[in-house]
Amino acid sequence: MPTPRAHYALRRTLVSWKFDAALEELLRFCREATVDEVILKCDTEEFSHGIPTVEWLRGYQPLLMRARDALRGMGVEYSLNPWVTQGHIDRGRDIRDVFPGMRMQVGHDGAEARAQACPLCDVWQAHTAQLWTLYAETRPHVIWVEDDIRTFNHLPVRYGCFCAEHLRRFSARAGEPVARAALVGALLAPGAPHPWRALWLELQAEVMMDTVRFLQETVHAASPETCLGLMSSGPDAHALEGRRWREFGAALAGPTPLYSRPPLGSYDEASLRGLYYTARSIKQTRHSLPGAVEQTEVENWPFTRYSKSTTFTALQMAVSVALGCDGATLNLFDHMGNPIDEEGAWGAMLREWRPYLDGLAARCHGQAPCGGVRLLNQERFSDHAHLPAGADYGALTQDASGWDEPLQALGFATTYDDGPVTALTGQATRAMCRTEIEALLAGGLLLDGSAARTLCDLGYAGEIGVDVPRILEKDAWAPLAAEEWHNTAFGGAPGVFLTMTLPDLMGGARLAEVRPLPGAVEISRLINMDHETVLPYLTACENRFGGRVAVLPFVLTGRYLSLLSPARKRQMSALLRWLSRDQLPLEVTADGAYPLPILRRFPGHAIVGACNLTLDPWTRMTFDLAGPAPARVDRLTAAGAWEAAEVTIATAGQRCRLALETSVSVATPLVLDLVW
């Protein structure tokens, strides 16, 4: 087998009004930037017609074939990315007169799109069959289906589709006529889910599977060797449309390999910490679509280095390759025909990072398991979630991964594969059977306040060591000054304080009231400004299943900054080691903040590493791992070579610790290969 390398797949539109110049420029860029594949986009962004006409595409198809032949003639693969299937967003367009009889999407609130079709519309299906036949006739390696194959975010339609045909089909399943308002009222009814919700999500899932199967069959009728690729919006969001990922993927792939484009977020460079979502999305999407060829979405929007630096872009690629993805799809330039040369730094970055990324790929390629604290992904979350009164439709979005970013930020690797500790937020356990829940309780389990409340509702208060009668806004309690981490057995001491200014100065944090039950141990407590105890806080217990459970009552809803501190790092280290019975897979410690930890286990070796998500360089690092000491440790240099690392190794019981005195900056992740 050839040595794996980082695969660069550039997404680019060749505008028709300056096609020859744009193609010549693209070919030159591919040579200079070592691009492996070009994914041409059609009728894109600003100059999109919403849904192109057959006449427009017939005129553009010969240009695609010219580009295909030119690219393949120089050893660059050709793929295709139609910019729309149903449509992304109206943006002022109205195509109803262009396509008479084409039914547009209708939202849960009655909003109607003017340029985004309902997938059940016969007119849209007939038109799309013609378009996608023309696309397939160009014989692309992959045709990518954009993430407008979804039921949400088709503005002005936020959640759909509630058109007459969808309602007719749902009414047949419900056994009675159902109007839109009645259906939405049932879907969002407070408390236990109305029976109609599962029926509706089942219908949504089937409609979307039928839609991608129709696309696949259309493509393969014209080009049997062409593969289909899926851009997605992340498993958390697709839960609210009932997506059944493996069935959906199989319907789209047909007889050819499936390609997957996990979304990496950070379309613009708001914060280096956006890379935590990058890592999570890769792991969670892989859990949903195992075995797919993965080419991540490195998106730079609205383009130019005003949106994102070349360094941040390269780091997204490095995380992708380190986590085993096959390559990255690079949306770097605008789609209006402006010259590539205006942003020559992108080509320089791709050339300069090629040796490093190829070196990563040589030892990181493949879907070997990630090690760390386990997170849950429940694609049927929305079937089972209990909603509060007045909930928005978006409340059906899965909420199980709230621990991911704070754990990673504190140096603890996370995974959707197996692990000795599972960290839960929200209502994920409502989508599990008793056997599954009790298997969780028999291991190590870290709960926030919302997950603890859910397990109490399900009858497991005794097994998690606390009763949780209610969740309130933090400032609805008596004034809370700090969390006193007083329990010495868990690393604390009287007078060790952590802030309760959560999640920020403007408040807004929610806390679960916990009432410890017999056998629970109080690790910390909440105090007022006079150091008087107000409430118990962090607790731990062992239960009848032989498991260990800890409850941190803060409700992790995405804003977690003030949850982090050196004291919290020490507290979580002691707690996770106790929960895991000293089998915590990886803890990264640096003389600074915000590592992004990486652990992947291959037969006979493991990749460990960390990205520095701050502007301050680190000078000292340790990697604390479960398992024996390695026989050899190699380090990837910035030049892409693997060399023996200068590392101090110590062992204690069933763990080993690797210590390095080295400079680690934001520009170059530290990656080690541990060989046994």
Give the domain-ending residue among 348, 366, 384.
366
pLDDT of 477 strictly over 80: no
CA 337-339-340 angle, to 5 degrees, is 110
- The CATH number that applies at residue 669 is 2.60.40
Which helix (H) or strand (E) segment holds residue 409: the answer is helix 404-409
Q: For residue 64, how many other CB atoms are within 10 A of its CB? A: 21
CA 424-429-433 angle, to 5 degrees, is 145
Q: For residue 626, how many other CB atoms are within 10 A of its CB? A: 20
CA distances from 244 to 164, 168, 250 (A): 24, 22, 10
pLDDT at site 476? 82
- Could you tell me if 362 and 377 lie in one domain? no
Q: Which two tokens stand for residue 255?
A: 């007889």
What is the rounded CA–CA span in Å between residue 439 and residue 545?
8
In-domain check, residue 459: yes
In-domain check, residue 98: no
- Could you tell me if 329 and 397 lie in one domain? no
pLDDT of 99 strictly over 90: yes
Contacts of 663 (CB under 8 A, 6+ apart): 617, 618, 619
Cβ proximity of 109 and 158 under 8 Å: yes
- Could you tell me if 410 and 551 lie in one domain? yes
Split at pLDDT 50, 70, 90, the class of 559 is: confident
Q: Determine the average pLDDT of the residues in 97-124.
A: 97
What is the rounded CA–CA span in Å between residue 153 and residue 157?
6
- The CATH number that applies at residue 429 is 3.40.50.880
Q: What is the pLDDT of residues 279-323, one digit of tens each?
A: 999 999 999 999 999 999 999 989 999 999 999 999 999 999 999
- Could you tell me if 578 and 609 lie in one domain? no
In-domain check, residue 598: yes
pLDDT at site 562? 79
- Could you tell me if 559 and 636 lie in one domain? no
Q: Where are the alpha helices (DSSP H) in 555-632?
A: 566-579
Q: What is the pLDDT of residues 169-182, one digit of tens each?
A: 999 999 999 999 99
pLDDT of 502 strictly over 90: no
- Could you tell me if 569 and 635 lie in one domain? no
pLDDT at site 63? 98
Give the domain-ending residue among 366, 381, 404.
366
Cβ proximity of 570 and 555 under 8 Å: no
- Could you tell me if 507 and 527 lie in one domain? yes
Burial class (CB in 10 A: 0-12, 13-18, 19+), 250: middle
Q: Which residues are registered as beta bridge partners of 588? A: 623
pLDDT at site 557? 81
pLDDT of 507 strictly over 90: no
pLDDT at site 1? 63
Tell me the DSSP string of 338-373: --GGGGTHHHHHHHHHHHHHHHHHHHH-S-PPBPSE
Q: Which of 335, 340, 337 is nearest to 18 (CA)?
A: 337
- The CATH number that applies at residue 345 is 3.20.20
Split at pLDDT 50, 70, 90, the class of 479 is: confident
Q: What is the pLDDT of residues 645-665, one digit of tens each?
A: 999 999 998 899 999 999 999
Q: Determine the average pLDDT of the residues in 613-621.
A: 97
Q: For residue 641, how many other CB atoms are within 10 A of its CB? A: 12
Domain of 380, in residue numbers: 373-582
Q: Determine the average pLDDT of the residues in 61-73.
A: 98
In-domain check, residue 401: yes
- Could you tell me if 342 and 384 lie in one domain? no
539 in helix, strand or coil?
strand
Q: What is the number of structural domains in the chain?
A: 3
Give the domain-ending residue among 366, 383, 403.
366
In-domain check, residue 101: no
What are phi and psi for residue 207, nearest 5 degrees?
A: -60, -45
Split at pLDDT 50, 70, 90, the class of 504 is: low
Q: Which of 423, 401, 399, 463 is nearest to 584 (CA)?
A: 423
Q: Which two tokens stand for residue 82?
A: 């139609």
Determine the angle formed by the axes of helices 164-174 and 180-187, rounding to 10 degrees.
60
What is the rounded CA–CA span in Å between residue 124 and residue 82?
15
Per 3-state DSSP, what percentage of the chain is helix, strand, and coil (rounded to 5)? 35, 25, 40
Please state, for a pLDDT cut of 90, what percent of the chain lies above it. 94
Contacts of 584 (CB under 8 A, 6+ apart): 373, 412, 420, 421, 576, 577, 624, 626
Tokens 């199980």 belong to residue: 400
Identify the DSSP state of 239.
Answer: G
Contacts of 629 (CB under 8 A, 6+ apart): 649, 651, 656
pLDDT of 349 strictly over 70: yes
Contacts of 97 (CB under 8 A, 6+ apart): none
- Could you tell me if 499 and 569 lie in one domain? yes
In-domain check, residue 102: no
Q: What is the pLDDT of residues 193-215, one digit of tens each?
A: 999 999 999 999 999 999 999 99
Cα dihedral 344, 349, 350, 351, rounded to 10, equals 90
Asked whether the whole model's pTM tops 0.75, one would answer: yes
pLDDT at site 474? 83
Tokens 């792991």 belong to residue: 283
What is the rounded CA–CA span in Å between residue 295 and residue 259?
7
pLDDT at site 194? 98
- Could you tell me if 532 and 598 lie in one domain? no
pLDDT of 505 strictly over 80: no
CA distances from 557 to 404, 485, 503 (A): 11, 23, 9
In-domain check, residue 94: no
Please state, for a pLDDT cut of 70, what percent of the chain lies above it. 99
pLDDT of 501 strictly over 90: no
- Could you tell me if 397 and 511 lie in one domain? yes
Determine the angle formed by the axes of helices 195-222 and 180-187, rounding to 10 degrees.
110
Split at pLDDT 50, 70, 90, the class of 561 is: confident
Q: Which residues are registered as beta bridge partners of 610? A: 597, 670
What is the rounded CA–CA span in Å between residue 163 and residue 180?
8
Strand-strand pairing, 327-331 and 421-424: unpaired
pLDDT at site 513? 94
* End-to-end CA gap in the chain: 23
- Could you tell me if 350 and 379 lie in one domain? no
Cβ proximity of 632 and 347 under 8 Å: no
Split at pLDDT 50, 70, 90, the class of 509 is: confident
Q: Which amino acid is at 164?
A: A
Q: Determine the average pLDDT of the residues in 316-338.
A: 96
Cis? peptide before 235, omega within 30° of 0: no
pLDDT at site 506? 60
Split at pLDDT 50, 70, 90, the class of 585 is: very high
* pLDDT mean across residues, the chain: 96
Q: Which two tokens stand for residue 526?
A: 């909440």
**Where would I find the beta strands (DSSP E) of 37-189?**
37-42, 77-82, 104-106, 112-117, 142-145, 152-154, 157-159
pLDDT at site 145? 97
In-domain check, residue 100: no
Q: Which of 311, 314, 319, 310 is nearest to 354 (CA)?
A: 314
Which helix (H) or strand (E) segment holds residue 219: the answer is helix 195-222
Q: Which two tokens stand for residue 389?
A: 């009164």
Tokens 């849209």 belong to residue: 124
Split at pLDDT 50, 70, 90, the class of 508 is: confident
Split at pLDDT 50, 70, 90, the class of 376 is: very high
- For the chain, what is the largest distance between any 2 Cα atoms, rounded to a whole number of angstroms? 78
CA distances from 585 to 412, 413, 594 (A): 8, 8, 18
Tokens 């007022």 belong to residue: 528
632 in helix, strand or coil?
strand
Identify the DSSP state of 617.
Answer: P
